[in-house]
Every structure is written in structure tokens, then in C-alpha cells.
Amino acid sequence: MATDWLGSVVSINCGVTLGVYQGEVSSVDHGSQTISLRQPYHNGARCPVPEVTFSAMDIKELKFLDIQNTVHKPTAGQTAASEPGFLSAGCHAQSNRTTRSHATSNTAHSSTAPITILRRVPTGPSNSRGTAQTTPRRSNLRNGGAGGPVRTKDDECFGDGTDEDLDTDFDFEGNLALFDKAAVFSQIDGSSSHGNKAQHHSTHVEQKPLSYRHDENILEGKPVTYRQITVPQHGGKEYCTDSGLVVPSVPYDLHKRLLAAAERWGLTLERRLETIGVCSSQMALTLLGGPNRLTPKNVHQRPTVVLLCGPHIQGAQGISCGRHLANHEVEVFLFLPNFLKMQEAVTSEVSLFSRTSGKQVASMKDLPVSPVDLVINCLDCHENPLLREQAWYQSAADWANQNRAPVLSIDPPVSEQHQTVEAKWILSLGLPLPSSKKDSRVYLCDIGIPKQVYQEVGINYHSPFGCKFVIPLHTA
């Protein structure tokens, strides 16, 4: 009965290693348990040999795709009964009605075209993955069958016949429906219209709101008035802050009347000394390196500061600064000569300074020989300019100029003469005095004078400090 199946088109699945073969049955041998296919296709590609023979041991599944003269042929069940020897090796034959209708429509090409069992991709859009089956991969088998010639790598990659007479067409409409070009451009342009792209771009630019930086105010306000401080007596020089506010200088007489008015309202000398000491020490700590220098892991490199002070108010301000620096683990040397008479404020500050780790010296020989990190100059006095002629003052000034450390002068007096100690920074109090030192950078310190105290001496005052207590001033 094996001759009844000659000429039938079958599909033989030989597993993952050998793959799937399709072709026309040319012979069936009961003795050797083999079946041969004519004009075979291997995994959808035409084999280079005209015939392939399979053993029953290699066949995992056998399907009849097209049975010629089905009226005179037995059914799949009868074949299983009449071919017990062939099917006993593990082959399972069945009728593929789903593919039969497809193969019948291509009867004219049944002997020459490859038989595919791929389902056509639906034309409607679908977001689910895996709805369409892909073409099976080419097997690693390098020959077309048992005893077939070995194919080269070029034939395996670029061999002809792989795209011949494919029965499944690419679904262009279904794939095009997955990409909505109008919706994509609408999302890019921020508009739902589908007009001209250039017109959309110009409209988008016109309607784009203004963008602001993180430090800009989005609320419209009044124009900024940069001259917010006016004085009845001008010192002859003007400065400006980083934000552009104008800060005029005042003569020493007006500055002295301002401090006297503040003291009448309760801002005593002791309170001013403490405020000046805190602000000047903060500036000094910043000049020394701030958090990059003063850390617990850097105790072996403690900064060294030398304070040069006289027996007056300016000297007391420097001693207060040195006390705060010593409290912040800075190595402080205080130079203060032994005077027979010192102001009470100086004596009080020296008493507090003696309770710190700072060192007080009365001779220049006791100061460090090597360069230090910073020198704070408080030698000068507003009331007594003749101190410059004394020996202790001149020796201290010479030491500061010979030491290569930068100098910070706190509240220096107004002088048209050349400065004795070359200062890199000058710290003014409240309002700046007209300094003639062109090479020094001027800073302003807030000493806590209320606004109405300024008004009492005729100064229209608006604080230029903002969120800081010490700000830099630039020559206007």
C-alpha cells in the first residue's frame, strides 16, 4: 500500500537539529524503514539536491499537506494501520486540514514552490507582541540531507532560492498603521493641528512664554533704584556693591557723629566691638581658606595669624577679632606693646583674649620668623596720627612689610599720605571712609546700626548688605 502515497506532498519534522523538510513522496521502503522526498525544501529554502531520504528514527512528526487523488487513497488512519512497521519508529502522521486548503489554492505550484505554514499578519493594528509567526531559522545542518554536498559559508548566507516564490506577503498596511506620523509631529510641535510644519514652528515661537533663571523674579515690579543711600556730607568717593547699589563715602566727622548717636540709643562700644570682632573674624576665616582649610582632618596645618594692635579703639577691635579666631582653632599671635596707659576697652579685650589659646607678645623678636598666613593690621588710630612716629609702630610696620603674608586692615583712618603698612584688604564699618589706597580692596561691615539712627544724623539709609554682614565694594 506504500505506492498509494507516492506523489503526496508531506512535511517532515526532524527536530531542532535537522529541521523541517517539505516535498513530494518519491519512495517508501518498508525494509530499511526510510522515506524519500523529491524536490525537497529545508526550512522553507530549496535544497541543492534533487532528493532526500529520511530514516524513521529521525522523524519526529509527519504531516500530509496535499494528497493527490484523495478519492482513491486511504485516510490517515488507514495508513497508520497498513504501515505499522513505518510508524512504529515514532512517526506520527496526521492530516493537516488547515494547510490543505492553502495548498489546494496553489496546486499549480505544488511541485515547484515551497510549502509554508505561516499565518498572514492581520491588517488591523495590534500592540500585542508575538501575533505573527516568523520564518523558522536556518538549521546548523550544512548539507541538504543525508550524503548531500557541503555548502560553503557564502552559500549559507547569500545562497539563491531563499526568497523565491514566498507565499506570505509583507503586510505594509498593517505596519504603516502602527506609526501615526501626524500624531508624532503634533506631539513634537505641541499642537494638534496638521498644517505646515514651518508655520507651526513660527506660531510656537511667538506663543512661547518668557523663561526666567532661578534667581530672577517672575513678578513685574517697580524699577530698581540703585542710589538708595544719600548723605548730607559727601566724602568725595563712591562705591557700588555686586548688585549695583551705590554706597557713598562719608567724612570722618559724620562717621563719628553716627557712632555717637548709636551709642545714645544703646549700641554701646562693647556691643560694637563684639559685632566687629565676629564679622572681621568671619572675613579672615574666609581669606584663610574657609572649609577647605579648617577641617578636623587638617589639624596638622592650622593657619597662623598675627595681629598688630595699638592702645586704642582700633586695637581693641583687632583683639576682639583675634579672640574669635583663636576660638576657631587658628594659631593667633597678638602684638601689643607694654604701655603705661591703655583705654579701658583695650584692657577688657586683652583680659578675654588671655583666656584663649592665643599668644600675646610685646616684642617683635617673639613673632614668627617664617611667613604666616595672614597679618591683621590695627596699628593706626583716627584720633592720634602721631603714633606713626613712635619706634614700636615703625618696627611693627617694617615687620609686616617684610613678611610675605597678605595684610587685612580693620577700620584704617583717613590719610592722604602713603600707607605705612601695605594692605591688600580694608574693612570699613557702617559706611566707608574716603580711602586713598588704590591698591587695596574695600569691604564693608554691618555693625548693627538701626535705620532711624542713620536718619537722625541726616542719612537716608537702605541696607546694602542683603543676606550678608560683610560685602565687597567696588569703585564706582
- Over residues 267-283, the pLDDT tens digits come to 999 999 999 999 999 99
Split at pLDDT 50, 70, 90, the class of 442 is very high
- How do residues 257-268 score in pLDDT, each as one tens digit? 999 999 999 999
**Residue 268: left if φ>0, alpha if ψ -120 to 50, beta else—which one?**
beta
What is the full DSSP assignment across 323-388?
HHHHHTT-EEEEE----S---HHHHHHHHHHTTSS-EEESSGGGS-SS--SEEEEE---SS-GGGG
- In this prediction, residue 152 carries a pLDDT of 63
Residue 136 has pLDDT above 60, yes or no: no
* DSSP β-bridge partners for residue 292: none
Residue 194 has pLDDT above 60, yes or no: no
Cell of 224: 530698581
- CATH 2.30.30.100 maps onto the chain at 2-173
Cell of 46: 530549496
Q: Long-range CB contacts (< 8 A, 24+ apart) of 147-155?
A: 148/47, 148/48, 148/49, 148/52, 149/48, 149/49, 151/48, 155/48
- How do residues 292-313 score in pLDDT, each as one tens digit? 888 888 777 889 999 999 999 9
- Share of residues in the chain with pLDDT > 90 (%): 39
Residue 104 has pLDDT above 60, yes or no: no
Closest by Cα among 306, 420, 466, 426 to 374: 306
Split at pLDDT 50, 70, 90, the class of 159 is low
Span of 133-142, 172-181, 466-475 with lowest mean pLDDT: 133-142
Count CB atoms within 10 A of the CB of residue 279: 24
- How do residues 20-60 score in pLDDT, each as one tens digit? 999 998 888 888 889 999 989 988 888 888 898 988 888 98
In terms of pLDDT, which residue wins out, 187 or 250? 250
pTM: 0.56
Kindly report the CATH number that applies to the domain delimited by 238-475: 3.40.50.10260
Residue 106 has pLDDT above 50, yes or no: no
Closest by Cα among 398, 393, 433, 386 to 413: 433
- In this prediction, residue 145 carries a pLDDT of 47
Architecture of domain 2-173: Roll (2.30)
Residue 164 has pLDDT above 60, yes or no: no
Residue 388 has pLDDT above 90, yes or no: no
- Secondary structure class of 103 (helix, strand, coil): helix
d(CA 214, CA 234): 38
- Secondary structure class of 450 (helix, strand, coil): coil
Mean pLDDT for the chain overall? 78
Q: Helix 269-287 and helix 252-264: axis angle, to 10°?
A: 120
- CATH 3.40.50.10260 maps onto the chain at 238-475
In terms of pLDDT, which residue wins out, 180 or 273? 273
